[in-house]
Amino acid sequence: MSFPLLRMRRLRKREAIRSMVREAHLKRADLIYPLFVCPGNGVKNEIGAMPGCYQMSVDMVVEECKEVAGLGLPAVILFGIPEEKDEEGSHAWKEDGVVQQAISAIKEAVPELVVITDVCLCEYTSHGHCGILGQKEAEDPRDVQVQNDPTLQNLAKAAVSHAKAGADMVAPSDMMDGRVGVIRNALDQNGFTDVPIMSYAVKYASSFYGPFREAAECAPQFGDRRTYQMDPGNAREALREAALDAQEGADILMVKPGMPYLDVIRILRDNFSMPIAAYQVSGEYSMIKAAGKLGWMDSERVALESLLCLKRAGADLILTYFAKEVAPLLP
């Protein structure tokens, strides 16, 4: 046998052939674009650490969504920055809250666009945590922790209010135990049996969310989220989180962040038959953008490669702030 018989290069020589034998593909239909809705009119404020991303009032969000749909992107996910915050985060389920208004305005102007909503309380609570707090005067600050069970009904109220406004899908990101089941029940009881749940099933307590907390104005005012979000050292635990959410009725399982957790996406892909989503989070976007700005990397190519690698790891869907920028480059 002569050595050239074993050449790996033969299939790599021409792009036409390379693309025929490529295992993973990235396309516009895979991408979900996150948007931040704020109060007011005509507001479009760029987010410092996320160039190209904005906090927008409802009217501007609608314009943005027309552009997004025009680019052939299938879906957006909405985050709200409310008029007012309180201890409970009650603006999360307000009938005329910013997100609720945005949902109906988008569905009216761009009906074909899939509108997904993030369901969480941290943007709405004065303390910035994702749920209701325990006793305030506690001597040991650990006793002021988020109370899992009392939080569930409030999350359900938020999810139902989004569905009432016309949301096509809800995505709980709070990481309270049992919330998928409670939200599923509440949706069903209100007649929204066909609204799917994309669960942030495997969400790590990650420093990669830094820029998002500026964008959504939801940094915790004390402590951190390590009592409810996952420990970055754990992968087997992801299987348990995902299994619980699947049992409780989640339709899509999400892993978040994306690139540092490719192994976790793969484990879920190999163990579950449901669609898997990956969230390329704010910090991942900011790093690539910053290096591009400094001339240290070609940010567009790095963005495309990082997204393709999320697909290869097993993600079916990707939430990414790059969606608009890369769409014209994709099938």
- Which residues form the interface with ligand PBG (CB under 6 A)? 118, 120, 122, 130, 173-174, 209, 212-213, 225, 281-282
Q: How many CA atoms does the CB half-sphere of 200 hold within 13 Å?
A: 26
Nearer to ligand PBG among residue 120 and residue 288 (C-beta): 120
Residue with tokens 């996150």: 34
Instruction: Write the secondary structure of 262-304 as one string of H (helix), E (strand) and C (coil).
Output: HHHHHHHHHHCCCCEEEEECHHHHHHHHHHHHCCCCCHHHHHH
Contact 166, 95 (CB under 8 A): no
| Chain position whose Cβ is nearest to ligand PBG | 212
Nearer to ligand PBG among residue 34 and residue 314 (C-beta): 34
Catalytically annotated residue among 85, 94, 107, 203: 203
Nearer to ligand PBG among residue 77 and residue 267 (C-beta): 77
Residue with tokens 């160039």: 51
Q: How far is the CB of 256 from ligand PBG (least distance, A)?
A: 7
Contact 12, 18 (CB under 8 A): yes
Q: Running DSSP on this structure, what letter comes out for residue 69?
A: H
Q: How far is the CB of 209 from ligand PBG (least distance, A)?
A: 4
Nearer to ligand PBG among residue 87 and residue 108 (C-beta): 87
Is 311 considered catalytic here? Answer: no
Q: How far is the CB of 205 from ligand PBG (least distance, A)?
A: 8
Q: How far is the CB of 10 from ligand PBG (least distance, A)?
A: 41
Catalytically annotated residue among 85, 94, 256, 311: 256
Contacts of residue 115, Cβ cutoff 8 Å, sequence gap at least 6: 75, 76, 78, 103, 106, 107, 166, 167, 168, 169
Q: How far is the CB of 95 from ligand PBG (least distance, A)?
A: 22
Nearest by Cα to 244 from 199, 204, 276, 275: 199
Nearer to ligand PBG among residue 85 and residue 225 (C-beta): 225
Could you tell me where the beta strands, DSSP code E, fall in the chain?
Answer: 31-37, 44-47, 50-56, 75-80, 114-119, 132-133, 146-147, 169-172, 198-203, 252-256, 276-280, 317-320
| Helix (H), strand (E) at residue 180 | helix 179-189
Q: Running DSSP on this structure, what letter comes out for residue 222?
A: S
Q: How far is the CB of 32 from ligand PBG (least distance, A)?
A: 12
Is 66 considered catalytic here? Answer: no
Nearer to ligand PBG among residue 128 and residue 196 (C-beta): 128
Residues acting as catalytic residues = 203, 256
